[in-house]
Amino acid sequence: MVWKLFQKTFGKSGKDVQSRLEQAKAQLKEQPVEAFSKLAVLAREGSIEAQFLVGQCYLTAQGAPPDLVEGARWIRRAGHNGWAQASFVLATLYLHGLPQEVDADAPKSIFDDAPEQSKGEPDFVKAAEWARRAADADYADGQALYGYILTAGPENIRNPEQALEWYRKAASNGCVQGHLGLGLAALAQAKTQEDYKAAAVELKKAADGDMGTALYLMGVMTERGIGVPQNITESTQYFAKAAEKKVRGAQAKYGLALLSGKGVARDTVRGETWLRRAALAGDAEAAAILGDMHGRGGEMPPNYAEAISWYRFASDQGHAASSRTLGNIYLAGVGVPKDPQAAAQWFKIAAEQGDKEATAELGNLALAGVVPTSEAAEVLECYRNAAAQDDFLAAFNVGVALAQGVGSQKNEEEALKWIRKAADKVVNAQYWYGRMLLEGRGAERNPQEGREWMEKAAESGMTEAQLAYGHLLITGTGGVKDHPEALQWYKKAAEAGNVDAMFSIGAMYGGGHEVPEDLVLARSWFQQAAEGGHGLAQLMMGRYLANGIGGDKDLEGARAWYRKAEKQNVLQASIELSKLGVGEGAQTPS
């Protein structure tokens, strides 16, 4: 009935089809519903352009309810009838993915309610078929699109040589996408400065045509001076234009430029705004930068909650460094309560994202017993896999885990093999290997070789190894005694803040060693170690002050140091304090 009404109203004769079509097209903007009704009649009567426009109306919800399936079907009718633009649009739709209903054979009335639709996967094969129709019809945009499909499509249809030909045809027809395709192809193959210059020529034409990708690439090339003269101001202008085109990489670049005043007047508010846009568009690096900004603070105090939210966002996008940063935040309790288990979870995520530093941090937590046994086994397996690829740090961690029974049964013999594998490259492994040989763990005790490895670790600057090697020189374990040399190693460790080394220096200057006795120096070193919390050094300070050794006698100070040592369960401190007497007015040194 409705169809008959249309026939009666508009007639079936084709004599005035063109005038009716022009009238409908003129009404599309101001009276879209009435225009669509007229176009629908013309489409049924066989007007190819009307068929295309009916499809467009469904796709854009102009005068008709939105209906992807029906819109694509009408576009396809126009394409089958030779309308080049329709073939191009249909190719584009297939690239984005169309529901299966589009290709169903069953006819469907344009006046039926739109069914529930499910978007399909991109179909490069069908897209190529329709893009080729448009290209063969000398439709420039279709030629560029067909070039793209031949470049980026699956292997079975990819043909870079033909793609270049189609890009050239599109470019010669004035299509900026054709210039973009030529520029991208040239850029991919560029090796010399001349190659980059040739790529820049094509990309510049596409950028002048306001192509977002071309604007961004010209910004990068101008920023780095690749193929074009370096010009920071010009590169920032390119990034600004590309950012307006919603190119997220350009949004991030422009945001950073505004933050730093690079090629543009500094504007931190606008800079952060552009970084937010880039991050919300999925740019993980921009989100990480926002996390850094809010975590560090600057003109405003740090906002740790905001920083953590951006790091989480970046982590969700696969940004491993942000995941590791979250692990460090929870490990240190920066802006959040300390939570080693939460830290372990973030380190695990970062490790799975490929961050080796996070893998090491996770291993440290596993060795500390923070990571559950089942997960510790996973960490150990991760280390084994990495060690098999000649990751020496991973090999060391495997050895330590086996030596301590973390993630597997304790096996010092196997642990020693892994640690030896790492010892040529990893300082900590040299220290561990030397210590295990000295103690006879995993192999027969070998003081000579153990001392040699400890010396290597000490020479590499490891403080614990410097202290341990000093002890070996004092006792003559694995080699000759050399007290003056030991003193030098203790001093190196003490310079790094090691209180055990400070105590050892005090003991050596206190007498009984093969260095000149100097009680003033001994007292000074004991005081440094005592102030660093060393219990035996606190005992010695009590003794030196009580007896006026190396300086003035100070009974109140002596009592205070004895009490500090007492709190660290140094039994001798209690004995000497009782002999000294409680006294009055004793003050604890600050």
- List, for residues 229-277, the tens digit of each pLDDT value: 999 999 999 999 999 999 999 999 999 999 999 999 999 999 999 999 9
d(C-alpha 203, C-alpha 476), whole Å: 73
Identify whether the C-beta of residue 221 lies closer than 8 Å to the C-beta of residue 187.
no
* Paired tokens of 175: 């299509």
The whole-chain average pLDDT of the chain stands at 88
What pLDDT score was predicted for residue 248? 94
Q: Is the Cβ–Cβ distance between 225 and 187 less than 8 Å?
A: no
**What's the pLDDT band for 403 if we cut at 50, 70, 90?**
confident
% of the chain residues with pLDDT over 90:
71
- In whole angstroms, what is the distance from residue 78 CA to residue 194 CA? 45
| C-alpha pair distances (Å), 555 with each of 375, 414, 544, 549, 579 | 55, 55, 10, 12, 12
Using a 10 angstrom Cβ sphere, with 0-12 exposed, 13-18 middle and 19 or more buried, the burial of residue 225 is middle
Closest CA to 329 of 300, 299, 309: 309
CA 574, CA 259: separation in Å to the nearest integer?
Answer: 62
Specify the higher pLDDT residue, 297 or 257.
Answer: 257
Tell me the mean pLDDT in the region 125-148: 95
Confidence of residue 300 (pLDDT cuts 50, 70, 90): low
| pLDDT average, residue stretch 539-560 | 94
Residues 73-82: what's their mean pLDDT?
Answer: 94
Q: How far apart are CA 198 and CA 176, in angstroms?
A: 16
| Alpha helix segments (H runs only) across 109-261 | 124-136, 140-152, 160-172, 176-189, 193-208, 212-224, 232-244, 248-260
Half-sphere exposure of 29 (CA within 13 A, CB side): 2
Residue 287 confidence (pLDDT): 94
For 2-21, give the DSSP string. Answer: HHHHHHHHH-S-STTHHHHH
pLDDT band at 581 (very low <50, low <70, confident <90, very high): low
Paired tokens of 369: 């017993």
Helix (H), strand (E) counts: the chain: 32, 0
For the packed helices 499-509 and 483-495, what is the interaxial angle rounded to 10 degrees? 140
Query: 400: pLDDT confidence band, cut at 50, 70 and 90?
Result: confident
pLDDT at 388 over 90: no
Task: Give the CA distances from residue 138 to residues 53, 88, 158, 289, in Å, rounded to whole numbers and listed in that order.
Answer: 20, 11, 21, 46
> What pLDDT does 234 receive?
97
Q: Is the pLDDT of residue 393 over 90?
A: no
- Say which residue, 586 or 265, is predicted with more confidence: 265
Average pLDDT estimate for 379-386: 71
| 33-37, 68-72, 416-420, 492-496, range with the lowest pLDDT | 416-420
Here the tokens at position 299 are 């003109």
Instruction: Confirm if 43 and 58 have CB atoms less than 8 A apart.
Output: no
Asked if pLDDT for residue 550 goes beyond 90, the answer is yes
For residue 59, the SS3 value is: helix
Cα separation, 326 vs 424, whole angstroms: 32
Tokens of 166: 């189609």
The predicted structure's pLDDT at residue 375: 67
pLDDT score recorded for residue 15: 54
pLDDT at 407: 64
CB 285 within 8 A of CB 301: no
Residue 585 has pLDDT above 50, yes or no: no
d(CA 166, CA 147): 5
**What long-range pairs does 10-18 form, CB within 8 A, spacing at least 24?**
10/38, 10/41, 12/45, 14/45, 14/46, 17/42, 17/45, 17/47
Rounded to 5, what percent of the chain is helix, strand, coil?
A: 70, 0, 30
Burial 207-220 (b: 16+ CB within 10 A, else e): bebebbbbbbbbbb
175 within 8 A of 143, measured Cβ to Cβ: yes
pLDDT level of residue 526 (50, 70, 90 thresholds): very high
Q: What is the pLDDT of residue 39?
A: 93
pLDDT per residue as tens digits for the range 340-382 = 888 888 988 988 888 877 777 777 777 677 766 666 677 677 7
d(CA 35, CA 83): 20
For residue 61, CA distances in Å to 57, 116, 134 come to 5, 16, 24
- The whole-number pLDDT of residue 113 equals 46
Residue 104 has pLDDT above 80, yes or no: no
State how far the alpha carbon of 245 is from the alpha carbons of 96, 152, 202, 211, in Å: 19, 22, 19, 8
Token pair in block for residue 417:
């093999």
Reduced to 3 states, what is the DSSP secondary structure of residue 153?
coil
> Which one has a higher pLDDT value, 318 or 392?
318
Least confident of 274-288, 315-329, 543-557, 571-585: 571-585
